[in-house]
Amino acid sequence: MLRYAALKTGRALFVVWAAFTLTFVLLFVLPANPEDLLFDPAELNTIPPEVREQVAANYGFDEPVLVQYFERLGRALAGDFGNSVQSGKPVTEAVLGVLPNTLLLSAGALALAALIAYGIALTATSTRRPWLRNLVESLPSAAVSVPVFLSGILLLQVFAFKLGWFPAFGSDGPASLVLPLVTLAVPVSGPIAQLLVRRFTAELESGYVTTSRAKGATREQIVTGDVFRNASLPALTITGITFGNLIAGSVITETVFAREGVGRLTQTAINTLDVPLVQGIVVLVAASFAFINLAVDLVYPLLDPRLRATLALEAR
């Protein structure tokens, strides 16, 4: 178990290191003059050479690439990604200031997506009506095929502008969270539901199900009992992986609903070419993603006796 935990922790650290290294190469190495990214492109030709040299010296662009890399890596390990070019605030402070909003939106959407997925899987495997089963099984594909921005606009048009049930924009109060949650959760629920339907169907063909039926258990009791528990374990893994899609989808969702969060901050940083802020966002989001998946990987053996047995055999 310790070896398994060490391996998964090492992979998580590698993901964060790779995110930092990739953004360093893209933002600070590939551009011929990385200091040009810190200026407004429309005013680039009017910047005096001495100003460019001063900016390059301030950001360390005049040093060898390896020196820049290890200096930035050392500061990043201490949580220092420099200051935002536009606001002058420390990058870590700027990201952590809006990260809770995005994590709340992502966690809520993940929980809602799981409920939708389980509802689809339970309905599809419990019903005895073929037409209803086929209809329910088609919902995940339909959910995945709808773009996030389109579903967000449709929800705004119907429930905010026409019916007036929920606020259209902003981050004030629980009511403002409902439409973004649904917008983000619906496409994410599709892959989880597809996996659960396949796992529920496979589990219903297992030997213990036949034994339970022989003892007089109904189909509903079997599905909501052992089948539900055994089929849910693989879904735990895909749920952790899906968290990355939620972070990516939050960029569009927060823009559509004008919510404060990492998504809108990312859009602003890219539009204004705020290089230190872009790197800080990428690395901190990668760290959040890696931590969530590490937690899932460490919890999985505790829930699945088969994996614990496999790890014990490997240890021998």
Largest CA distance in the chain: 86
Give 90's strand partners: 83
CA 174, 178, 182 angle in degrees (round to 5)?
155
Rounded alpha-carbon distances, angstroms, from residue 143 to 193, 255, 315: 10, 21, 43
Pick the more confident residue, 135 or 314.
135
What is the average pLDDT across 105-120? 82
Q: Which domains does the chain have, with CATH numbers?
A: 96-271 (1.10.3720.10)
Paired strand residues for 83 = 90
> From the CB of residue 235, how many other CB atoms can be counted at a distance below 10 Å?
20
Per the prediction, the chain carries an average pLDDT of: 75
The predicted structure's pLDDT at residue 26: 79
128: helix, strand or coil = coil
- Segment 286-308, tens digit of pLDDT: 887 788 778 777 776 666 555 55
Q: Over the stretch 3-14, which tens digit does the pLDDT of each residue have?
A: 777 887 888 888
Give which of 200, 163, 166, 204 is closest to 183, Cα–Cα.
Answer: 166
What integer is the mean pLDDT of 93-114?
82
- The percentage of the chain sitting over the pLDDT mark of 90, rounded to a whole number, equals 0
Amino acid letter for position 303: L
Token pair 């990492």 is found at 262
Rounded to whole angstroms, the Cα distance separating 51 from 273 reads: 18
Q: In the chain, what percentage of residues exceed pLDDT 70? A: 73
Higher model confidence: residue 309 or residue 250? 250
The pair of structure tokens assigned to 15 is 């993901």
pLDDT confidence of residue 90: 84
> In the predicted model, is pLDDT for residue 195 greater than 70?
yes
Residue 311: pLDDT over 60: no
What average pLDDT does this structure show over 67-90? 80
